[in-house]
Amino acid sequence: MSMDMIHVYKPGADPKAPVLVLLHGTGGNEHDLLGLGELISPESAVLSVRGNVLENGMPRFFRRLAEGVFDEQDLVFRTGELKAFLDAAAAEYGLDRENMVAVGYSNGANIAASLIFHEQESFRGAVLHHPMVPRRGVQLPELNGMPVFIGAGINDRICTKEETEELRSQLSGAGAEVEVHWEDHGHQLTRTEAEAAAHWFRREFQENG
Ligand code: MLT
């Protein structure tokens, strides 16, 4: 039993709708992405988690050695921690563990991507706003058509175009169905990107039942 991550749980109006797992960016918290979740799938249950690491008082999901340089050992440990939390939360709240869709921004998108890279049972799908390649040199599990939305900025200096393309090809190579949405901006999560994610989500998870 591992429920030792601060979180918000909000039951959903539609028990069949995917459970959204909301994962904030550096310096954020479990309240930041509730509005985004509401926009993406208002009828979904929501599990919004706060990262357990602090960097100068700013919550994160794993340590980094410098901007863009991850502490790999901590990343792997924290990925397992989040996985254990999701498994325990599914049992605690009576949620379908196989029907969870990650929605992460920046550091939160990176831990979601790391879970997808490392674990066979990660998510049904993922919305990754400005993710990086979480780790190199690992064999990804078979992703069996997992739908993944990547929101990226052509001027994003933290998650560059090249790195976005590298992540897309890693995920596609493992069998995911990846859609990349480009914004003419930097690292910020814009309204139009959030709306594109909501549109994609409806297409992937609602219209086909
Ligand atoms: C990270 O450390 O995960 C990335 O640099 C994104 C961020 O700044 O959170």
List, for residues 145-197, the tens digit of each pLDDT value: 999 999 999 999 999 999 999 999 999 999 999 999 999 999 999 999 999 99
Q: What is the pLDDT of residue 206?
A: 85
Average of per-residue pLDDT across 27-36: 98
> What percent of the chain clears pLDDT 70, i.e. is strictly above it?
98
pLDDT band for position 3 (50/70/90)? confident
pLDDT tens digits, one per residue of 70-96: 999 999 999 999 999 999 999 999 999
CA distance 50 to 8: 9
Q: Whose CA is nearest to atom 4 of ligand 1?
A: 107
Does the Cβ of 37 fall within 6 Å of ligand 1?
no
The closest alpha carbon to 128, from 194, 199, 202, 59, belongs to 194
Question: What distance in angstroms lies between residue 199's CA and the mean position of ligand 1's atoms?
Answer: 26
> What global pTM score does this model have?
0.97
Residues 7-206, CATH architecture? 3-Layer(aba) Sandwich (3.40)
pLDDT digits (tens, 9 = 90+) for 118-144: 999 999 999 999 999 999 999 999 999
The answer to whether the CB of 122 is under 6 A from ligand 1 is no
- Domain map of the chain by residue range? 7-206
Which atom of ligand 1 has the smallest separation from the CA of 61?
3
Catalytic residues: 106, 156, 187
Cα–Cα distances in Å, from 205 out to 31, 59, 126, 129, 169?
24, 31, 11, 18, 23
